């Protein structure tokens, strides 16, 4: 098992770096933008090209492994997490950022066995930061160990969140209700990088104390959630219950105390699960 996981890590890092090159080059081309679940849920040919590149290279090296990839699921592939070794891929996390050249874009690759993330790689390709984690072996950025912030008071914290791409009025109301509650605590600040994977790597790096969102997908958070755990943080549901990768809800924090102070102020809602029939 140990060697397989090291091989997986090495391959994920190599292919994420290659994917990052493709993304950086594509930034100087015209970007043809299409939409998916809503008028603001964007996708480009580069998302599809990068996902193909990653999946093809993994298939050659690990022919028995399964995949859950953002663009494959959009094209009709199932999004079911099994106990089998599975690569969970977001070829461009931060597609809206990519379309607008807003400078945070990540390639996110998680690897699960028995539905548990064992390897996580997030490549923030414009910053050239390679975040890596293996269960039980710590989290790193460009080889340097990561440690979450030691702040225990939510009032002295920066909280990351996102608005997502669902514009249903009830969902927007919930998002603003959470935001209003949290801003008024008060907290030092609220931020959002426009990519869930980068938000999680910011928690793992100790730059922000927590990140929460409802509506993102398993491919946005699989890799980054392991970064947070391995940097000493916690990952749970927004109601304080156990984390569930397929639930499309996440609260990741530097510690339980900050997380539970936030739980009191988040207005929860339940998007359709990623594995909904
Ligand atoms: C999106 C980003 C964004 C988050 C959305 C995600 P994508 O991923 O992570 O920060 O708010 O919920 O869907 O579509 O750019 O891969």
Give, in order, the Cα–Cα distances in Å from 96 to each of 52, 193, 221, 274: 20, 11, 17, 21
255 DSSP assignment: S
Q: Are 71 and 51 in contact (CB under 8 A)?
A: yes
Write down the pLDDT at residue 90.
Answer: 98
Residue 65 in 3-state DSSP? coil
DSSP 8-state symbol, 44: E
Residue among 44, 253, 198, 226 nearest 136 (CA): 226
Residue whose Cα lies nearest atom 12 of ligand 1: it is 216
Task: Decide if 220 is catalytic.
Answer: yes
Instruction: Measure the CA–CA gap between 129 and 122, rounded to whole angstroms.
Output: 8
CA distance 187 to 132: 29
Closest ligand 1 atom, CA of 196?
A: 9
Distance (Å) from CA 41 to ligand 1 centroid: 8
Structural domains in the chain, sorted by start: 2-145 (3.30.540.10), 154-263 (3.40.190.80)
Considering the candidates 54, 55, 68, 92, report the single residue annotated as catalytic. Answer: 92
- The residue annotated as part of the active site, out of 47, 51, 71, 90, is 90
80 catalytic? Reply is no
- Please state, in angstroms and rounded to a whole number, the distance separating the CA atoms of residues 127 and 103: 8
3-class DSSP state of 164: coil
Place of tokens 């790096």: 205
Ligand 1 lined by 95 (C-beta under 6 Å) = yes
Q: Which atom in ligand 1 lies closest to the alpha carbon of residue 94?
A: 15
From the CA of 43, give the closest atom in ligand 1: 14
Please state, in angstroms and rounded to a whole number, the distance separating the CA atoms of residues 182 and 276.
Answer: 30
User: pLDDT digits over 196-235, tens only?
Assistant: 999 999 999 999 999 999 999 999 999 999 999 999 999 9
Q: Could you identify the residue written with the tokens 């480009």?
A: 44
To the query of whether residue 195 is one of the catalytic residues in this protein, the response is: no
pLDDT in tens, 77-134: 999 999 999 999 999 999 999 999 999 999 999 999 999 999 999 999 999 999 999 9
> ipTM value of the model?
0.95
């Amino acid at each position: 098992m140990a060697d397989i996981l090291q091989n997986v890590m090495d391959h994920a890092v190599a292919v994420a770096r290659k994917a990052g090159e493709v993304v950086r080059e594509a930034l100087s081309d015209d970007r043809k933008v299409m939409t998916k679940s809503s008028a603001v849920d964007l996708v480009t040919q580069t998302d599809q090209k990068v996902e193909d590149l990653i999946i093809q290279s993994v298939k050659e090296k690990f022919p028995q492994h399964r995949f859950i990839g953002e663009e494959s699921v959009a094209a009709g592939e199932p999004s079911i997490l099994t106990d089998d070794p599975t690569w969970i891929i977001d070829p461009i996390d931060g597609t809206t950022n990519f379309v607008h050249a807003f400078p945070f874009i990540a390639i996110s690759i998680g690897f699960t066995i028995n539905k548990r993330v064992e390897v996580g790689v997030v490549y923030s390709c414009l910053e050239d930061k390679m975040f890596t984690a293996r269960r039980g072996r710590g989290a790193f950025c460009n080889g340097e160990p990561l440690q979450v912030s030691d702040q225990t008071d939510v009032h002295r914290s920066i909280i990351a969140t996102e608005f997502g791409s669902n514009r249903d009025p009830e969902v927007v109301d919930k998002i603003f209700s959470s935001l209003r509650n949290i801003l008024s605590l008060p907290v030092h600040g609220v931020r959002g990088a426009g990519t869930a994977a980068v938000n999680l790597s910011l928690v793992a790096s100790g730059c922000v104390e927590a990140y929460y969102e409802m509506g993102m997908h398993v491919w946005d958070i699989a890799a980054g959630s392991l970064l947070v755990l391995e940097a000493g943080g916690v990952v749970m549901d927004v109601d304080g219950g156990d984390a569930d990768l397929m639930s499309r809800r996440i609260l990741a924090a530097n510690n339980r105390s900050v997380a539970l102070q936030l739980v009191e102020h988040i207005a929860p809602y339940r998007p359709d699960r990623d594995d909904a029939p």
